[in-house]
Structure 1
Amino acid sequence: MNGPADRPQPQAPDDDATGHGHHHTYVNQVFHGPLHAPQAHFGVGAPASVSAPASGTRRATGRLDTEEIDAVLYAYVEPPPFAEAAAALAADTVVVLVGPPGTGKRSGAVALLKEVADSSVYVVLSPDIDLEQLAERAFDRGVGYVLLDRMNEDAAGGGTGGARTADFDWRRVRDRVRGQGAHLVVTTVHEPGGTPPEAVRHVPWRAPDLGEVLRERLREDGCAGRAAEEAAGLMPGGCLVAEVAAAAGRIARGEEPRAVWREYGSSAAQPVRDWFAAERSPREIAEVATLAFAMGTGRRDFEALQEALEGCLAGTLADVTPAPAPAEGEAEPVPAAPGDRRRSLARNALVATEERAHGAPGRTVWVFAAPHYRQWVLEELWANHSSAFWDGVRDWLNALVAGRPDGGLHRSVASGLALLARTAFDEVADCYLRPWARGGAGPEGEFMADHVLGWICLDETLAPAALTLVRGWAHSGDPGLRSAAARAFSGQLGVRFPTDAVKRLWHLIHQGQGRPAVVGMAHLFALLADGQEDAGVVLDALVHRLRKQCAAPVATRVKVMTFDTVLAVLSVDGPGTGRPAVAALVERQPGTTARIAELWAGVLRNRPVRQAALAALRDTLHALPAVGREPGATAGRLGGALAAALPPEERTLLATALGRNEGSRRPVDPAVLTGFLTALRGGAPAGTPVLSTPSTSST
């Protein structure tokens, strides 16, 4: 996790969502760089008490690169079930690891593949794949596959019939993987429903010896001997594997072990649990509940928010045991006047103030006394208060969202709901995400739903659940939810699961969702290209569909939408750059040039969008000097690739159109234009296939 820095806020969407001759702007909150949110505590691996600021999302599926593999297997310690799982994988080529979050199933899956299959290539599959799809997909020989956080549908249908079906499906998966010479490790938190399948071994997974994990990591980091033993002796109970790894890194860098361990395992939660175990007034409960969703708020604003929450919670925080009736002849006791809110907050052991510089003088805001308290406060609130209490919180948050909170409060509410989702995902999905996404709270609610999903996707333990939720929206009959799915798949969720996002966005385009899905595909491409992720996922899908539509003799709605989508992708600006995302991509990843050129050839030959395609191509050439050191060479590669994708007559038309450089809206640097046109006029190598659509097509 990196140092603090905020990304620019998203701009308003362009009115012309199909993008003909226009550049798209952004509606999604996406965190590729580090995000300053020290009280949010999101990140990979440690779902409860990571103490560093949240960092950007990386894809959760696809091929693991060498650095990722090395990081997963760094100082790896085999847990007790490792030998059993390795034997099952060697015998059957497929094994399932079943265990709770935080027990090291991900690293165990990669370690098993390295031990048994000795794979040099590792591919992580989407959790949004069922057994039937697994049994029908292709597996490459010698590749090790990992399917993380698979949802359990084994018992579908109930009874022994469901178990027999699951066993039959697992047998098909096993035979498919074995027959194609691959290996597959599946992880899940769910025990198989009914009778465990016999075809594939489901191994109960446990964490390795955490003391040994700590010692091994400290040893690798040059901190061994007595210091490592003392750190191990101070380790609290209840730690997760990733928490131990994070603590080891901090201790190796010189932090005091006793202070480090206060933020992990049972030590992290105990102060909050002790606070809730004491008798607490309704005001104190309202204080910590307000703070859980309004971190970093100034004193006056916080008091107003707390007062509003208390109004929504009226009656839900009263003592369960009524006060005794006064004795005969005694007067009714006079209720004590409520104390000053600010003084009450100052006495609250879970709350502290922090000075934040906004010029001179600074600004005092309310925060938790320790950043990790926030997660545990939400867990205690959820465990100790009824639906009536949470109904009041929902009413309060709905009113807050409708009031258009500023950026800081907006982020705090979103990250608070994402933290609540760790404990109560259904509550967040049913009471906030779904109603807001479908437009129940207006545009502000839609934007907040997008933002909450973005925060949820920063947590790898929650991201698969978010994928399942939004997939349901994409297939919903509700137009509002389908639009919300298009937005979600074009943001953090799409970056986390790019292949799934492209698949679902194309489903939405095909089903007539139109503008939101087209814009979503373009935004996803720009984000993947900007974050140096695999933007080729989008390019490959569009090349495949463009070839199919170019071969079609008649115009259809899907054909029109295909060309619109391709043009939107080629036109979209990179986040915050004002330059086409494709310009930076061809400069940074030359291997994508041929596919990009094929897409451009398709839209250039499609007469209804030809002028918009020419403008987009000119804009890209215009941007090349700003994105690379050798723009002429990059333009030459692009021109040569277009020469290979276009027939001779189209090359001549394109050269003529681009040659009129004077007076254009964005004139191209003469050296760049010369490099492009020289390569374009050079022609295609003999035998190079070109798109088959006639140049006179009006489709």
Structure 2
Amino acid sequence: MTTDQPYEQGEPSPRQETREPASDEGERPPSPPEEHDEFDEGLLDQNATVINNFFADVDAGGATFGAGGRRSSRAAVGRLPATDVAASLRGFIEPPAWARAVAVLREQHVLVLCGREESGRWTGAVAALDAMGLDGDGIWMYSPSTSLAELNAGQRFQARHGYLLHDWIEATGDVSVRRFELETLARKVAEARAYLVITVRAMKGRRPFDKVQIDWEPPNPGALFDARLAGVAPPERERDALARLRLHAEKLVAPGPVTALAERVAQGTETPSRILADVEDEVVAGWFGREDLKRADVLAVCAVAFAHGAPERVFEQLLADLVATWDQFGADKGLDVRRQDDERLPQTRALWSGGHPLINVVVDTDAGFGGERRVVFRGEHYRAQVIAALARHYGYELWQPLRQWIRGLADADIEVQFQAAVGVALLVRADPAEVKESFLDEWAAGRMFERLAAANVLALLSMEDDFAPIALDLALSWVRDAGQERAMTAAIAFGNGIWIRYPTDALKWLWFLALRGVRVSVVARRSLMLLFRQAAEHGEAVAALTMLARLAGEEVDGAVGTRRTRTALAAVTDILTAACLSDPGVPLPTQLLSTHPESAAPLGVLWAGCLASNHHRVAAVRALKISLTALRGRAETIAAVAALGAAVWRALPPEWHPIVERDLRRALSGPDDGTAALPARDLVNALLAAGVRRSS
């Protein structure tokens, strides 16, 4: 292993996939998407900003997302430092299978933990590896899509180091083949005196890896709650509330929500009584158990659950649409949709603003919203509880029109659309099959707004450690023989929240999709460019650029002039000409050279590839000129520009040196291309001098 960067892992290569058959597009580069695609690059940017803000507030995400599990905005691949390992294991409680799991790992050097979602497999795997007394800083984590064959072929394991393949996306095919691959891998790991843990979802009675497979169950939730609160002593008046919180934790079962609840108590910013009032579902359960509950009440609560925080004026219309959808469904099915007087929706806003036990109206004083009244739930966790109750108490006659209405929210403004995605993501806990079949697969095969909604659901699932692998698996399923629309949805999803958790997978598969047919390629290229603009904001761009340089080099090497190479270089040019996400007036390369001088090396390789192409050289020269011009007055960047020049000339084939130098001197010394400003002379000299020194 040569690097700690997640972009450098040995991962499944999209190049091994069956490529799309050649079309009649000939040598033409990708053209703009057809009008019916409703492609909107500005919408992708706006949506990315929403997702970035959501991930930035991940620690307080329970107020909006409310799922109660372990949320994270860190990459789910790469090095998990020893400090993070220790934090993850604070208060760890040994579950029933613990002793057997540790024994298997110590003896066989490979352990497969098999269990359902939210059973604590990730923490159990980390704890088992930590129990081996590892050397080095932390544990190396692989992407769920990493195959056993790739680990056998390309991974070098180091003695007394730990490796984790969490929620492995098990390959299809002959079980005996996978068993053989694991046995081979186990010998390799044991010979290296390393340790590897693989976690998989429940296998429904199958035991293909019987020798090293352990069926995993969560620890006792009450004991886990106590362990996390060791040393915390609330005031005497709060003891009863704390005891009731412990009882609530025991009902949660899953370690993630139990830990989140205990840590909320331990922070001390809220009293146990306040937390109890928020998380106990007695209010929600009591409301749904009322005998006088009317259709109007239920539909209003449904509307808040999937359009949470909508401005009151917007909410009124959305609720009216839901009522109309329900009425039309009933009429189509021959149901009696006549309403009694007390079933009519109120002509005023009294239904949700008159002391409703679940619904509240708040005034948003944020200047961006102009102090609008917004319809929300009274408790932070009510939203998740309401959605779970709807799934538990109601069947086809409510859910069929509700599905239709929710799917239609994809056409609403981006704020409402995003909240619909949050609601659907919360529904995953109650009914994952329903979400996939009724929402994600439908949206993913739909129009642009629907595809964006599906991608947002995957981004939200990516926030939770327990569901991030499922989001990745869904996106991969849309790449493989699922149609162009779903492939485009996968492209949007990879450039959305998935890239934050699985950067290597996202970049590789976006590159693969960018080289497919025109419609898919256009969306993938825009999503790829958006990935880099976001990566620059998160400080991850250098590793991503290094990987892109390698991918582009593999594609272009020895295949100059084909449609695929033109498309590949066009995708690179997109990135070299991109603007910053937070400041569209600043070129992305300018920002990188200013803030991360080490980006000069991969940027130089990418620029060299485009400069050596007759088809892309003009755009590459112009992009270089614009980026250098934006660096005027920044003397501290001269070294980075010199490094950029050295990388360009080093990567550029010698026969191209005279042509490229001529074009660069012409462009950088005069506004022949219509650009008014020119780069500073010292920057031009620094760039060109590297080529002169190399030529001499």
State the TM bucket, normalised to the shorter chain. 0.7 to 0.9
Q: Give yes or no for the alignment of 1:395 onto 2:401.
A: no
Q: 1:25 to 1:580 in 2, by over 3 A?
A: farther
Counterpart code for 2:641: A
Q: Are residues 1:349 and 2:357 paired?
A: yes
Aligned: 1:149 with 2:154: no
TM-score by length of 1: 0.80
Unaligned runs of 5+ in 1: 1-13, 18-23, 324-332, 686-699
Query: 1:662 corresponds to which residue?
Result: 670
1:398-448: per-residue Cα shift (whole Å, max 9, x none)? 44444xx23432222222122223322332332233333323xx3332333
Return the match for 2:314 from 301, 304, 312. 301
Shift of 1:214: 4.6
CA contact (8 A) 1:125 1:148 kept: yes
Structure-2 residue corresponding to 1:189: 201
User: How far apart in 2 are the matches of 1:352 and 1:125?
Assistant: 44
Which letter maps to 2:155?
A
Structure 1 match to 2:296: 283
Structure 1 pair 372/569, CA: closer, same or farther in 2 (3 Å)?
A: same
Asked if 1 retains the 8 angstrom alpha-carbon contact of 2:545 and 2:603, the reply is: no
Q: 1:583 to 1:465 in 2, by over 3 A?
A: same
CA distance in 2, matches of 1:174, 1:43: 40
Structure 2 Cα separation of the partners of residues 100 and 434 of structure 1: 23
Q: Distance in 2 between matches of 1:260 and 1:96?
A: 41
Task: Rate the CA distance shift 1:183–1:32 in 2: closer, same or farther, 3 A.
Answer: farther
Alignment match of 1:640 (pick from 637, 641, 646): 646
Offset at residue 656 of structure 1 (A): 4.1
Q: In the alignment, is the contact (CA less than 8 A) between 1:95 and 1:202 conserved in 2?
A: yes
Work out whether 1:557 is the aligned partner of 2:563: yes
Q: Which residue of 1 aligns with 2:18?
A: none
Structure 1 position 207 matched with structure 2 position 219: yes
> What secondary structure does 1:486 align onto?
helix
Counterpart residue number, 1:140? 157
Q: Contact 2:459/2:471 (CA < 8 Å) preserved in 1?
A: no
Residue 64 to residue 253, structure 1, CA distance change in 2 (3 Å)? closer
* CA separation of 1:58 and 1:396: change in aligned 2, threshold 3 A: same
* Contact 1:297 1:366 (C-alpha < 8 Å) held by counterparts: yes
Aligned mate of 2:421, from 389, 414, 425: 414
Structure that is richer in helix per residue = 2
Q: Please give the residue correspondences for 1:37-52 in structure 2 after superposition, counting only pairs within 5 Å.
A: 42=61, 48-49=67-68
How far apart are the structure 2 equivalents of 1:425 and 1:284?
26
Cα distance, 1:89 vs. partner? 1.0
Kindly indicate whether residue 486 of structure 2 is the aligned counterpart of residue 481 of structure 1: yes
CA distance in structure 2 between the aligned counterparts of 1:39 and 1:587, rounded to whole angstroms: 28
1:456 alignment partner in structure 2: 461
State the alpha-carbon separation in 2 of the partners of residues 619 and 16 from structure 1. Answer: 24
Q: Percent identity?
A: 25
Q: Judging changes above 3 Å, is the alpha-carbon distance between structure 1 residues 171 and 550 closer, same or farther for their aligned structure 2 residues?
A: closer
The alpha-carbon deviation at position 69 of structure 1 amounts to 3.7
Cα distance in 2 between the residues matched to 1:212 and 1:415: 29
2:246 aligned with 1:198: no
Unpaired segments ≥5 residues, structure 2 = 1-29, 34-40
Stretch moving more, 609-618 or 296-305: 296-305
- State the shift of 1:206 in Å: 2.4
DSSP 3-state at the match of 1:262? helix
Amino acid at match of 1:144: G
8 Å Cα contact 2:669-2:678 kept in structure 1:
yes
Structure 1 stretch 364-373 or stretch 494-503: which is displaced more?
A: 494-503
Deviation for aligned residue 1:72: 2.6
3-state secondary structure, aligned to 2:423: helix
Cα contact 1:632–1:671 (8 A) shared by 2: yes
1:619 paired residue number: 626
Distance 1:288 1:181, change over 3 A: same
Letter aligned with residue 397 of structure 1: I
- Is it true that 1:373 corresponds to 2:390 in the alignment? no
What is the deviation of 1:79? 4.2
2:145 pairs with 128, 131, 138, which one?
128
Question: Structure 1: how far apart are the matches of 2:370 and 2:234?
Answer: 48
Could you say which residue in structure 1 is the equivalent of 2:10?
none
Match of 1:451, SS state, is helix
Q: Measure how far apart 1:493 and its partner are.
A: 1.8
The equivalent residue for 1:60 is: 76
1:91 aligned onto 2:91: no
TM-score scaled to structure 2, two decimals?
A: 0.80
Deviation string, structure 1 residues 87-138 (Cα, Å, up to 9, x no partner): 2111111112233444433233223222215042522112224545554442
Q: How far is the alpha carbon of 1:282 from its aligned partner? A: 1.1
Any idea what the Cα deviations from partners look like across 1:206-233, whole Å, max 9, x if unmatched? 22665455555554xxx46988988864
1:183-582 residue pairs with structure 2 within 5 A? 183-191=195-203, 193-195=205-207, 197-207=209-219, 210-211=222-223, 214-216=226-228, 219=231, 223=232, 233=243, 234-235=245-246, 236=248, 237-239=250-252, 240-259=254-273, 261-262=275-276, 267-279=279-291, 280-314=293-327, 336=342, 338=344, 340=346, 342-345=349-352, 346-357=354-365, 362-402=371-411, 405-439=412-446, 442-512=447-517, 513-533=520-540, 535-537=542-544, 539-547=546-554, 549-552=556-559, 555-578=561-584, 579-582=586-589
> CA deviation digits over 1:61-90, x for unaligned, max 9?
223345544543445454453332222111
Q: Does 2:682 match 1:671?
A: yes
Higher deviation after alignment, 370-379 or 506-515 = 506-515
What is the SS of the residue equivalent to 1:187? strand
Q: Which digits, 9 at most, give the CA deviation of each residue in 1:442-471, with x for residues without a partner? A: 333233333333333223322222222221
Query: Compared with structure 1, are the counterparts of its residues 636 and 257 closer, same or farther at alpha carbon in structure 2 (3 Å cutoff)?
Result: same
Q: Give 3-state SS (helix, strand or coil) of 2:582's partner.
A: coil
Paired positions, count:
634
Shift of residue 546, structure 1, vs aligned partner: 1.4
Alignment correspondent of 1:328: none
Distance 1:89 1:225, change over 3 A: farther
Question: How far did 1:392 drift?
Answer: 0.3
Aligned equivalents of 2:276, 2:380: Cα separation in 1: 11
